Amino acid sequence: MREFIVEADGGSRGNPGPAGYGSVVIDAATGETLVERAEYIGVATNNVAEYRGLVAGLRAARELDPSATVRVRMDSKLVVEQMSGRWKIKHPDMKPLAAEAARILPPEQVTYEWMPRERNKHADRLANEAMDAGKRGEQWDAGASRAELDARGPATPAAPEPSGPPGDATAGAAKAREALARSRPAADPTADAVQEKPMTTTDADLRAARTVATPAPAPAPAPASAPAASPASAQASASPVDSAPATPAVAPSVGWGAAPDLGAPATFVLLRHGETPLTPQKRFSGSGGTDPSLSDVGREQAERVAATLARRGTVQHILASPLARTRETAAAVAARLGLEVTVEDGLIETDFGAWEGLTFGEVRERHPEDLNAWLADPEAEPTGGGESFAATATRIAATRDRLVEEYAGRTVLLVTHVTPIKTFVRLALGAPSESLFRMELSAASLSAVAYYADGNASVRLFNDTSHLRS
């Protein structure tokens, strides 16, 4: 039986914006490219374009041999997890595409696996050729394509991959220690002691700190947050890594001077949306409810945080959850900064099922057993089949990995919700899931995490509300 590899990708310049996809069918035995497909599809989101690429690749494989087994490889964690049946498909534009992809070949003939974006160059270049053609008012021309040649061009040395995903504190620290151990003189009798000292601050550290840190008085009581979330880790369990405040660069201790320059990090400035009418009442308000807009207080909060971010002047891109309250908050900031807002589905709040719109006390009265299970087990779903916090954490980790790669070295404002922000912070710290109960996150607050090329992460700011008191 023949075996094919289908590599597919899609892109959107604006998300939603002008979009295209690319697909490649490869002979698994020889590595030979058998078919290339690409198309400009008009205005669509990244995810829709990725699904269109998957459909085109599977159709091409079926045309070659309908009895062949197919290994689909994509850099879209969302598509891979949804087509593998591990994530639910909720977006109305993606449901029919996923169903179409599932019908092309018998499910037992197709497997899905994620791969890093740098290994998906061929399909990525096809997608970009298609978008370039669409910009010229044309369709993609297979005869003029250079995608395969470009993908096989001279490779640039890649940074060593960490043993854990970006933001995994244990994996990143282990990678740093390994690099330092290699650079340390073998005869140095103080090396072991030096290894456990805090690393001196690099220029990249200072740049990341300046991105969001400004002196502020101690926080005053903040607006009430939504009910505390308790997401489970999307990674294998990892112990938190001891840390200490960084100090200005001085003459390095033995062993630390040779640490590699990791460059500027990807810095995520995490902004929780402003208040809605449900926020002061502490009602569950996730992605499965009424999708409330900002209240008058929330709009004022959005304007204040926008003014603060405009004064700092460091945000280069703005991404927002698709819910109304986050898009409204992001729009206020974008108007001040002169930037566009990209909607990012991965930043959406947890779906709280039948608990949407209820207070914690009301849920306790109506669904006591479900609530107790949910509090004790991050795999448990809210009543009515909402999203478990384990699933939320897996989704946030996948979104983080993709955005860290896409926005390496840049500062990005992510306008999102309580659960996603707490999860970003918890994963960066390598903290256990119960740490979520010990975090207070106010409406319109700012937090920040910097992600480095070695896989390490640094929490730079948490629940800053100083701008709401100015």
Point out the residues that are catalytic. Answer: 273, 349
Buried b or exposed e, range 365-404, using 16+ CB within 10 angstroms? eebeebbeebeeebebbbbeebbbbbbbbbbbbbbbbbbb
When computed from its CA atoms, the radius of gyration of the chain, rounded to whole angstroms, is 24
- In this structure, the number of other CB atoms found within 10 A of the CB of residue 30 comes to 8
Buried b or exposed e, range 180-203, using 16+ CB within 10 angstroms? beeebeeeeeebeeeeeeebbbbe
CA distance 193 to 453: 26
- In this structure, the number of other CB atoms found within 10 A of the CB of residue 220 comes to 9
Write the DSSP symbol of residue 354: G
Crossing angle between the packed helical segments 46-64 and 121-135, to the nearest 10 degrees? 110
Report the length, in residues, of the chain.
Answer: 470
Tokens linked to 328: 């409204």
Crossing angle between the packed helical segments 389-406 and 418-429, to the nearest 10 degrees? 70
With H, G, I as helix, E, B as strand and everything else as coil, classify residue 451.
strand
Cα distance from N-terminal residue to C-terminal residue, the chain: 69
Partnered with residue 27 across adjacent β-strands are 4
Distances (CA, A) of 345 to 218, 232, 271, 349: 34, 20, 16, 9
Q: How do strand 317-320 and strand 341-343 relate by DSSP bridges?
A: parallel
**Cβ pair 347, 316 in contact under 8 A:** no
